[in-house]
Chain A
Amino acid sequence: MEFALEIKKIMASQNYTLAVRDNFQRLLMKPILNLTERRISQEPVDVFIKNRVFGTIVECVQNICRSENSVVKKDAILLLSRSNDFYIINAGKVINGVDKEKWSEWLLKWSKEDLINLKSELVDLKKNKGILDRNLFEKMAILELFLKSKGLVGFSFHPMVSENYLFELEIKIALN
């Protein structure tokens, strides 16, 4: 039971208030979003910022954490924290080597571009929105995250067993 104290210490030290570990399947999306929405709505922060935070969580839950064909059961995690200057949303899941290459390529490319280029890239992608392509939705989600956070998206890939990686995104939304 000591792990409860360990969890509390890790979460409290980084101001994480909420951590959800799951596969974020369709059925659970609404309750997760309700849970995070209620959490944010309690904070004394401008509604415009809250909407951006909530929009970020929606993208993370629907397109980053969601892993219905997951490599590992309940491999995805969503964390919400708040510092003096930012809301911080961490989203992660276990991916295979092929997906690692894909995410890595997109993120490296877009982290070097300015917001105007990112926005026009998103507009181009949206023109093809009718096509049911997982890659397309994931790309759009990443671009949305860059735009909502004004470029404050960090990422990492941690090697795990069986040639899998823990893919993590950190999205910061400035409070001002």
Chain B
Amino acid sequence: MYNINDLDALQSVMSSNDAVLTYVGAFNQDTVKSMLKYTESKLESSGVKDLTRKKIFNVMTEMLQNISKHQNDTLNNENEAAVFILGEKEDGFYLLTGNNIGNNLIELVEGKINIINGLNKEELKEYYKKMRLNSTISDVGGAGLGFIDIVRKSENKLEFKFIPQGNMDSFFILKATISND
């Protein structure tokens, strides 16, 4: 089989990182809906408690919406595809998205996440209200409301990384963790 080594590698990477679902490609409404549905059933069958399930579902919805909004509209090559990963660990779940962004946006995104990660629950609530009042429709999520929502719903700080992909772009990885209640 021509791609067997890749299959082995994929199985191995997924297994060593506890990934149970990965999707690579364009994110549209149908894809998002079917992944949410799958995850809902998976969590139910795994006996995950209601509260945890709700958190995972809400965070996943937010992250998938984010990636739908910010993915490159024209996928010209494999480097432009976005990725979503659901991981199941002993003590909880993680949700991870990855997509290419322009290097000119790194400072802005990093700044927003760092502000959000530095706030406590109450401060986050206030910050959300403030940003919501100040944002306009044309921001298309640019105010960082999505990030705030993810932190509020997951009750954990966001992890992120930018991996350079040539001179113009970087691969932006965003990870949210939901602990078992």
Contact = CB atoms under 8 A, between A and B. Distances in A.
Interface string A102-114: 0000000000000
A60 to B, nearest CB: 14
A158 B8 CA distance: 9
Contacts of B107: none
Contact of B22 (A19, A38, A74): A19
A25 B44 CA distance: 13
B79 A38 contact: no
Contact of A12 (B37, B45, B81, B96): B81
B7 A4 contact: no
Interface stretch (B13-21, B56-64, B118-126, B130-138): B13-21
A170 interface: yes
Nearest to B80: A12
B5 to A, nearest CB: 9
B181 interface: no
A92 B10 CA distance: 12
Interface in B20-50: 20-25, 28, 30-31, 33-35, 37-38, 40-42, 44-45
A62 to B, nearest CB: 16
Nearest to B34: A38
Given A10-B13, A22-B20, A77-B11, A4 B173 contact: yes
Contacts of A14: 3, 6
A22 to B, nearest CB: 6
The size class of the interface chain A forms with chain B is 35 or more
Contacts of A77: 7, 10-11, 14
Contacts of A20: 20-21
B38 A31 contact: yes
Interface in A11-54: 11-14, 16-22, 25, 27-28, 30-32, 34-35, 38-39, 41-42
B143 interface: no
23 contacts: A4-B96, A4-B171, A5-B173, A7-B13, A7-B22, A7-B85, A10-B10, A11-B83, A12-B78, A13-B6, A14-B6, A16-B10, A16-B24, A17-B23, A17-B24, A27-B41, A28-B41, A32-B38, A34-B38, A39-B31, A156-B1, A166-B11, A170-B3
Q: 7 closest pairs, A vs B, by CB?
A: A12-B78, A31-B41, A27-B45, A38-B34, A8-B83, A11-B24, A154-B1
Given A13-B6, A28-B42, 18 more contacts: A1-B159, A3-B13, A7-B19, A8-B98, A10-B10, A10-B13, A11-B10, A11-B83, A16-B24, A19-B21, A25-B45, A30-B41, A32-B38, A34-B37, A38-B31, A74-B20, A77-B7, A77-B14
